[in-house]
Amino acid sequence: MGLYLYPIPSRPGFARPPPKPSSCAPCGPSVPCSTGSASATRSVACAPPTGTPREELSPMIIECTSCGARAKLPDSKEGAKVRCGECSHIYVARPPGARRSSKAQKDDSTKYFIGGGAVVVFGLVLLIVNRGKSDPPPVVEAAPPVVEGDTGPSTGWDSPHVLFARQMHDLAFSKNTSKLFVLLDFAKLRDHEIASAATATPEGEQPVTLAGYTSLDGAAQTAYRNTTVDGLTSAEGEMPVSLWKPYDGDVVAETEKSAIVRLHVQSRSGDPNLSDRWMEWEFVRGTDMRWKAWRWERWISPEEEKRERTRRTKKTVRKTLSDGSEVIEGVVREEIAYHAETTPEQITEIEGLIDQLINMEARPKEITAARGRLEEIGKHAVPGLLKRMGGTPLESEENAIQLNLIHMLLSDITEYQTTFVVHVAMGGTQERIDSGIKQWFGWYDRKWKRFWREADSREEEIDPFWDNPNYKPRNENERRRMEELRRKAEGGN
């Protein structure tokens, strides 16, 4: 193959140059030698050296591990490092397919690394198996969860319960119905409405029967929830939650499962005629530990009640007429509402009866029947009569007759007298007639609520005029009143 292979010294970085041709002692000069030196020469008829076995002189074919080029080398050079003449790659002289020598195998450290790794893995496996077979560690019971209390103040404007009540006002104003559905206890709210209806039922009447929330079917419960939430977000009613904004408040009562909050609120409309009010909220804590609202209503503080009395007093004026009569007058008006306990059916009936009472074209029998029915209805008819009196101007004789019919019926129902007369010819003056109408509204501002409470239980009282026979009437109205009482006492009409 035309290659010269020579052993590479074991010392790194050192390469021995090929020996120069020289004479071989056994073979003669200038003849290639067969003793193994690739560069030596010997004679053609060279005999093997004395004492060298024939087997050692057999050639060994080696193959470059890089390019695959082959060369011949004596067997005695097996294991020596040689350089390839083709690619200059240095490799160990060994026949193709031969295994490493025992020395090389001893010098190879790879198997030690593999063996060491296997030992380590085996040790880890034993450790894991032994740990699994050992007794399990003792079970340590976890401590019960600690429920953290509210970090905020328990009372005051920033307390949790007050914040909850404020949130209800904001949600109602923004019409966030989805959150309102979650924050209301509909079952307890229904029970509260049932109890309120039973309390408000007049004595002797059958209370309205309302089914409990759990007794309602699915559709009825859904309708009730929708109605309740719509009422919160509505702008209708005496004091709608959505139209009042809280600016102060506190917790007035609190237990583990209930709380009562009062908020000082102001109108969102900014109307100066609407004074600030109080709203009272009541919450309950459910089984899921969540707070929910079930009652909200206006709370009248002592200061507000005093202010209301002062306002009502300012509506009335104490006045002395020219004849010396002292009277209390109010503002004549039509804006008088029926009592909350008066049903819509009663209001419709009352309005129709009043129309019949003051109908100048009606027959006396019809007028008498209307008057008798209104007197039977009693206190429920008083606001309607006053409204009609306030809306009837004293501009004609016909109006005066209508006002007189209303005046006499009011006197029979309330047992209150004013200076009103139908005409000056009846012993009055225009001043007393005008004042008589105002006196009815002064009575309403001062005594209506008390009259409503006591009307059903009032007993016939002895008139102070008749109780004192020596009493001298101060005006024509008192004189007429005394004559009427005298006729009744004598059995007259």
pLDDT tens across the length of the chain (493 residues):
444 454 444 444 444 455 544 444 444 444 444 444 443 333 333 444 444 444 445 677 888 888 888 888 787 788 888 888 888 888 888 777 665 544 444 455 666 778 777 888 777 777 776 665 555 556 555 555 554 455 557 788 999 999 999 999 999 999 999 999 999 999 999 998 888 887 766 665 666 678 889 889 999 999 999 999 999 999 887 788 999 999 999 999 999 999 999 999 999 988 877 889 999 999 999 888 999 999 999 999 888 887 777 666 567 888 888 888 888 898 898 888 999 899 999 999 999 999 999 999 999 999 999 999 999 999 999 999 999 999 998 888 899 999 999 999 999 999 898 988 887 777 778 898 899 899 999 999 888 988 998 877 654 444 555 555 666 666 666 777 777 777 766 665 5
Q: Give the pLDDT confidence of 369-412 residue by residue, as tens digits.
A: 999 999 999 999 999 999 999 999 888 889 999 999 999 999 99
Residues sharing a CB contact under 8 Å with residue 10, sequence separation 6 or more, in sequence order: 81
If DSSP states are collapsed to H, E and C, what string results for the chain?
CCCCCCEECCCCCCCCCCCCCCCECCCECCCCCCCCCCCCCCCCCCCCCCCCCCHHHCEEEEECCCCCCEEEEEHHHCCCEEECCCCCCEEECCCCCCCCCHHHHHHCCHHHHHHHHHHHHHHHHHHHHHHHHCCCCCCCCCCCCCCCCCCCCCCCCCCHHHHHHHHHHHHHHHCCHHHHHHCECHHHHHHHHHHHHHHHCCCCCCCCCCCCHHHCCHHHHHHHHHHHHHHHHCCCCCCCHHHEEEEEEEEEEECCCEEEEEEEEEECCCCCCCCCEEEEEEEEECCCCCEEEEEEEEECCHHHHHHHHHHHHHHCEEEECCCCCEEEECCCCCCCCCCCCCCHHHHHHHHHHHHHHCCCCCCHHHHHHHHHHHHHHHHHHHHHHHHHHHCCCCCCHHHHHHHHHHHHHHHHHHCCCCCCCCCHHHCCCHHHHHHHHHHHHHHHHHHHHHHHHHHHHCCCCCCHHHHCCCCCCCCHHHHHHHHHHHHHHCCCC
Q: What is the pTM of this model?
A: 0.41
Inter-CA distances, 289 with 75, 184, 243, 286, Å: 95, 14, 30, 5
CATH number of this structure's domain 160-299: 3.10.450
Phi, then psi, of 278 in degrees rounded to 5: -120, 140
In the chain, CATH 3.10.450 covers 160-299
Query: Which of 210, 238, 235 shows the shortest CA–CA distance to 224?
Result: 210
